[in-house]
């Protein structure tokens, strides 16, 4: 939460322009004015971390939201309609799953070019399949239940049955996955930026900052360490959130 807030408020919180360069302060140690020091272009590291968080969170959140909507819809449709449609959709999902997240991201961005839109597309593609799977499983059991049958007898449309009666039963599982996949998405975005396929410099991103720091790791290791810590805090928080959500949503674990 703190990280999300600080990323949202970056324009007001950060003491300096993340792109402002000061040659005199090149690789300077921390001072009261620049609490985390300056990077190799004399830019304020704290401001860059705050601004970098905006890019990471924006890309990852949009990607996961799109993946939830598309994947969730595909999963519910596949589970509800069943038959051939179900088999085709799930086979397509298996194909998507068969390329590792990072390799898939690498290839999409490398082929289409490193823009924010393509980054989002790459991460979305890798996240659709797991959401489709997680939405399909409960749909299969819920659609056989009496209340859905009753709805059908009352002449409700298929769309209404899916949205009003099946969706709420699927949402819990999706939320747990969302927290974990947001972490994965942030990791993928940072990894791609680290390889040099992220949003182009001079825009600050965490992965890109670590990359710049890594190039000078023998002399100025802190350049790589501060953004690393920022990523770690976010990932740790999201994983805890995911775990917490799972524990509360799974009654079997609650009673143990």
Partner 1 sequence: MLTYIVKRLLVAVPTLLAVLTVVFFFVRIAPGDPAFIILGDQASQQAIAAVHQELGLDRPMLVQYLDFMSTVLRGDLGMSLVTHRPIWSEVANVLPYTIELTLTALVIGVVLGLPLGIAAARHRNEALDYAARVFSLLGLSFPAFVSAIMLLLAFAIELHWFPVISEARPGDPLSRVSALVLPAINLGLIMVAYVMRVARSSMLGVLGEDYIRTARSKGVPARVVIWRHALGNALIPVVTVVGLYLGVLIGNSVLTEIVFNRPGLGKLIVNSLNQRDYTMLEGLMVIYAFIIVIVNLLTDLTYGLIDPRVRQR
Residues in contact with partner 1 by the rule CB under 8 A: 91-92, 94-95, 98-103, 106-107, 110-113, 183, 187, 190-191, 194-197, 210, 214, 217-218, 221, 224-225, 228, 231-232, 235-236, 239-240, 243, 256
Residue 229: CB minimum distance to partner 1, A: 9
Residue 69: CB minimum distance to partner 1, A: 22
Nearer to partner 1 by Cβ, of 16 and 246: the residue is 246
Write b or e for each residue in 52-72: b if 16 or more Cβ atoms lie within 10 A of its Cβ, otherwise e: bbbbbbbbbbbbbebbbebbb
**Residue 50, Cβ density class (10 Å: 0-12 exposed, 13-18 middle, ≥19 buried):** buried
Nearer to partner 1 by Cβ, of 67 and 231: the residue is 231
Under DSSP, is residue 151 helix (H, G, I), strand (E, B) or coil? helix
**Residue 146, Cβ density class (10 Å: 0-12 exposed, 13-18 middle, ≥19 buried):** exposed
Nearer to partner 1 by Cβ, of 25 and 185: the residue is 185
Residue 125: alpha-carbon gap to chain centroid: 12
Q: Are 205 and 190 in contact (CB under 8 A)?
A: yes
Residue 211: CB minimum distance to partner 1, A: 9
Residue 202: CB minimum distance to partner 1, A: 20
Nearer to partner 1 by Cβ, of 5 and 233: the residue is 233
Residue 243: CB minimum distance to partner 1, A: 7
Nearer to partner 1 by Cβ, of 70 and 107: the residue is 107
Under DSSP, is residue 43 helix (H, G, I), strand (E, B) or coil? coil
Question: Please, what is the Cα angle at 169 between 165 and 175, to 5 degrees?
Answer: 135
Reported residue count of the chain is 256
Residue 100: CB minimum distance to partner 1, A: 4
Nearer to partner 1 by Cβ, of 153 and 218: the residue is 218
Residue 137: CB minimum distance to partner 1, A: 14
Centre a 10 Å sphere on the Cβ of residue 123 and count the other Cβ atoms it contains: 29
Contacts of 74 (CB under 8 A, 6+ apart): 89, 93, 128, 132, 135
Phi-psi sector, 37: left (phi>0), alpha (psi -120 to 50), beta: left
Nearer to partner 1 by Cβ, of 148 and 241: the residue is 241
């Amino acid at each position: 939460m703190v990280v999300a807030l600080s990323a949202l408020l970056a324009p007001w919180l950060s003491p300096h322009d993340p792109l402002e360069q000061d040659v005199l302060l090149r690789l300077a140690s921390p001072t009261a004015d620049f609490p985390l020091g300056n990077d190799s272009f004399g830019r304020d590291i704290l401001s860059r971390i705050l601004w970098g968080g905006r890019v990471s969170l924006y890309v990852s959140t949009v990607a996961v939201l799109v993946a939830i909507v598309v994947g969730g819809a595909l999963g519910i449709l596949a589970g509800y309609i069943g038959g051939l449609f179900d088999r085709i959709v799930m086979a397509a999902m298996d194909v998507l799953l068969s390329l590792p997240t990072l390799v898939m991201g690498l290839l999409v961005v490398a082929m289409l070019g490193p823009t924010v839109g393509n980054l989002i597309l790459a991460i979305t593609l890798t996240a659709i399949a797991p959401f489709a799977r997680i939405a399909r499983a409960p749909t299969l059991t819920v659609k056989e239940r009496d209340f859905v049958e009753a709805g059908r007898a009352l002449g409700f449309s298929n769309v209404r049955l899916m949205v009003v009666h099946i969706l709420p039963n699927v949402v819990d599982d999706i939320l747990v996955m969302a927290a974990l996949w947001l972490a994965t998405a942030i990791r993928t975005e940072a990894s791609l930026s680290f390889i040099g396929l992220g949003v182009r410099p001079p825009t600050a991103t965490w992965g890109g900052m670590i990359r710049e720091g890594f190039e000078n790791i023998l002399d100025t290791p802190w350049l790589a360490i501060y953004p690393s810590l920022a990523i770690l805090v976010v990932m740790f928080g999201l994983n805890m959130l995911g775990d917490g959500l799972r524990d509360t949503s799974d009654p079997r674990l609650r009673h143990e």
